[in-house]
Amino acid sequence: MIVVCADDYGLSSGVCAAIEELIAARRLSATSAMTALPAWRRNAQSLRRLVASHPADVGLHLTLTDQKPLSPARTFATSEGRLPGIGLLTRRALAGRLPEDEVRAEIAAQLDAFEEVWGGPPDYVDGHQHVHVLPGIRGPLLDILAQRYPGRRLWLRHCGPDVKSPGAWRYAPTKAAVIGVLSRGLRRDAAAAGLATNLSLRGLYDFSERVPYGDIFRACLKGPAEGVLMHCHPGHVDDELRALDPLTTPREREFAYLSSNACADDFAAAGGPPVRLA
């Protein structure tokens, strides 16, 4: 069966609560934590108690865009003291203009923040807005993970879209193609660093209302599922979320479907609830 991972745990208390509800309902098998944000420290122990009885993978959602860094990041951050937006970050990465020492420092700081609260290393690492696949970030991240967790079988999210699933490309073909190109060689590089990966990624769409989220999710359940990861972004909208991130109402739509009886029926038709990759 497929791995279903909710991104952005720790973005706000409303997002955290929604993700926990879905883990308890067996609609999610993983969640990725934004450890640079205050809601991570406020809510992580609740998540820890939950996964003790409802096992799920919990990973680091490496956040290098838009939010305030944990490390000094003097040249990496913008004049407003925030990390650059995804467009600027990508241009800098492709031009080879990312400050590697500051990238390394921020990666280490976010891993520290995970371990300090969780009491151990993450089950896996991925990137907010898929930043971990970018040149200038991929290499430092793999080096740090190999040095920091030798002999531990962490996994790294591979973002190559799944061409065997009709839902993998249909709802965001340009985004899927770009991320697929940037992900080339990631599985090979991860294996060299002693890290496992999922085989492919599903769940990309444009966050619009033009197609009901349930239709997107059902399409992504079709096709071979072994080693496949589907990511999603459910949440309850609160003032904290509104202040930090422009993605709001799509999170409510995703939660509404994922918590519904229709979703349970869709999982049953596909062979059962989602599974852990770890």
Domains contained in the chain, CATH given? 3-270 (3.20.20.370)
Query: What is the chain's alpha carbon radius of gyration, rounded to the nearest angstrom?
Result: 17
pLDDT given for residue 223 in this prediction: 85
Q: What is the mean pLDDT of residues 134-156?
A: 94
User: How large is the average pLDDT for residues 35-40?
Assistant: 97
Residue 40 to residue 48: CA distance in whole angstroms: 11
Tokens at residue 232, please? 């999603």
What confidence tier does 230 reach under pLDDT thresholds 50, 70, 90? very high
Q: Can you tell me which residue has the tokens 């995970």? A: 114
Looking at the chain, which runs of residues are DSSP E strands? 3-9, 30-33, 57-62, 124-127, 155-156, 196-197, 200-202, 228-232
Q: What is the pLDDT of residue 147?
A: 95
Angle between the N-to-C axes of helices 213-221 and 249-258, in degrees from 0 to 180, rounded to the nearest 10: 60
- Which of 167-171, 213-217, 261-265 is predicted with the least confidence, judged by mean pLDDT? 167-171
Angle at 137 between CA 132 and CA 142, to 5 degrees: 80
Whether residue 21 is predicted with pLDDT greater than 80 in this model: the reply is yes
pLDDT score of 9 more than 90: yes
Q: What is the mean pLDDT of the chain?
A: 94
Residue 6 is given by DSSP the state E
The predicted structure's pLDDT at residue 77:
82
112 Cβ contact partners less than 8 Å away, ≥ 6 residues apart: 70
Report the pLDDT value the prediction gives residue 74, as an integer from 0 to 100. 83
In a 3-state reduction of DSSP, which class is residue 3? Answer: strand
DSSP 48-99: HHHHHHS--EEEEEE--SSSPPSS--TTTS-TTSSPPPHHHHHHHHHTT-S-
User: Considering the entire predicted model, what is its pTM?
Assistant: 0.96
- Summarize pLDDT for 100-137 with one digit per residue, the tens: 999 999 999 999 999 999 999 999 999 999 999 999 99
pLDDT on residue 128: 98
Is pLDDT of 51 > 90?
A: yes
pLDDT average, residue stretch 162-176 = 80
Token code pair at residue 35: 């450890």
Residues 212-228 have pLDDT tens digits of: 999 999 999 988 888 89
CB 9 within 8 A of CB 237: no
